[in-house]
Amino acid sequence: MFIDKATISVKAGKGGDGAVAFHREKYVPAGGPDGGDGGHGGSIIVVSDDNMSTLMDFRYKRKYVAENGMNGQGKRCSGKNGGDTFIKVPRGTLIRDKETGGIIKDMTDSAPFVLVKGGRGGWGNHHFATPTRQTPRFAKPGTNGEAREVVLELKLLADVGLVGFPNVGKSTLLSVVSKAHPKIANYHFTTLFPNLGVVYISEGRSFVMADIPGIIEGASEGAGLGHDFLRHVDRCRLLVHVVDVSGSEGRDPIEDFEAINNELREYNHELAERPQIVVANKIDILPEGSELLSEFRDYVTELGYDFFEMSAATHTGTQELIKAVGEKLMNLPPIKIFEADYIEPEIVIDTSEEVSIEQYDDVWVVEGPWLEKLISTINFTDYESRMHFDRILREAKIFERMEAMGVKDGDVISMYNLEFSYQS
C-alpha cells in the first residue's frame, strides 16, 4: 500500500540525575564528594533512506521515544548516555509541525537531522565542592528531553511529472521509456499510486519520471485520487501533459487539456506556470477523417507549448519525446527544495506553578517546570535578557520566599544548569 502522509509523536530521552556520593576508602578518612554526572538523554534523529518509497512503516508505529540517560554513580562515574533513536524516511519527505503546519525540514539531503534533542544530564555533587563547602549533599537532576508531534509528508523526487486524465496512456508511456512496471489496463484508475521510472538518454544522462495518477476535474477540491497525489507534482521541474486525441471515450482533447491545467492552477498557481510539454497520445487509433488532432495541435501551439504526437502502445514518437524532454531539462533549475518556515512558538511561562526551594549549607536549589522553560529562553550574555529574567523571578516572589527562609548575600543559587550568587 502506498502511504504518503503520516502523523507521529516523538519524545527525546530525559537526562540522568547527578549522584550524591562520598569517597569511602580505608586509610582515607575524608575522601570528599565523588558523585558522578548523569548521562544525557537520547535524541530522535531522522535520516533519508533511498530504499524506502512510502511511509507505510508509520501506519502501524506512530510513537517514537529515545532512551533516558542513566543516573550518575559514586567514584565520579558518569551515567551512560541514552541511545539515540533513528527514524528512516524516504528521500523527499517533508517534516511539518502538526499544530502550525510549518516546514521543519525537507529531507532531500543525506545529512541526519536532529528532530528533538535529549535532555542534559545533571551534575554530581563533586562539582559543588569548594574550600568552604567541602561536603555538598546535593546534586542536580537531569533535564527533560524535547517532545513534539509532526506530520511526515512525502513529495516524490522526480524531474518529470506525467499528468493527464485517467486512461490516457501515462502508465504505458512510463513502461515504454523506462524499466518501471506499472499496472496497465483499459479502465479508469488502474494506477492507484505514483510510479517512478529512471529514463536513460545516453551514457551519463538520465532523469526520473513520475506517473501521477487520478487527476480528474475537481481533483484540487478532493475529487478522485488527484487531491492525494497532486503534492507529488510540486517538485517536478517539467510536466509532460498527456492527452487522448483519439476521441475513443467521446471526450474533447481541448476540454481535457484545459480541465487538467485548471486543476493544477487551483492546487498551486506555480504549477500552471511550470514548463510543460503537451503530448497527443493514441494517434494509432484515430478515426479516419477525424480533425481532433489538427484542432488540438493548432490550439496548443498557439498557446506556445511544445507539442508532440505519439502512440505509447506502438512506441511511435516516444524516442523523439524523450530526446526533447532531456534537452529541456538541461536548461531548467534543479528539483525544488522546500525551505524551512517553521517558527518556534513563544514559550508561555505560567509562574503560578509551584517552585521548590531546598537549602544545602550555603547552596539553594530552586526547581520548577516553568523555571526550566524560562531558563531555556534567556540569553545570559545580554544585559536586558538577564534583567528580564531577574524581573520574572521577583514577580514570582522567588527571592522573597528565599529571604524568609534565611538566604544570605554570597549564597549560591542553583537553577538547573545555572548558578549565580545571591545579592540582596
Structural domains of the chain sorted by starting position, each given as residue range(s) with its CATH number in brackets: 1-155 (2.70.210.12), 160-329 (3.40.50.300), 348-424 (3.30.300.350)
The percent of residues above 70 in pLDDT, for the chain, comes to 92
Q: What's the CA gap between 248 and 245, in Å, rounded?
A: 8
Residue 328 confidence (pLDDT):
94
Residue 187 confidence (pLDDT):
46
pLDDT for residue 269 is more than 50? yes
Residue range 313-345, pLDDT digits in tens: 999 999 999 999 999 999 999 888 888 888 877
Residue 1 confidence (pLDDT):
46
CB-CB contact of 310 with 281 (8 Å): yes
Residue range 178-203, pLDDT digits in tens: 986 765 555 455 555 678 888 998 87
| Average predicted confidence (pLDDT) for the chain | 87
Residue 289 confidence (pLDDT):
63
Q: Which of 86, 92, 75 is nearest to 156 (CA)?
A: 92
pLDDT for residue 225 is more than 60? no
The stretch 162-169 carries a mean pLDDT of: 88
Residue 2 confidence (pLDDT):
58
The pTM (predicted TM-score) of the whole model is 0.76
The percent of residues above 90 in pLDDT, for the chain, comes to 46
Q: What's the CA gap between 389 and 374, in Å, rounded?
A: 8
CB-CB contact of 116 with 65 (8 Å): no
**Kind and range of the H or E element at 154?**
strand 147-154
Q: Which of 184, 411, 130, 141 is nearest to 312 (CA)?
A: 184
Residue 217 confidence (pLDDT):
58
Residue range 110-142, pLDDT digits in tens: 999 999 999 999 889 888 887 777 888 888 888
pLDDT category at 3 given cuts 50, 70, 90 is low
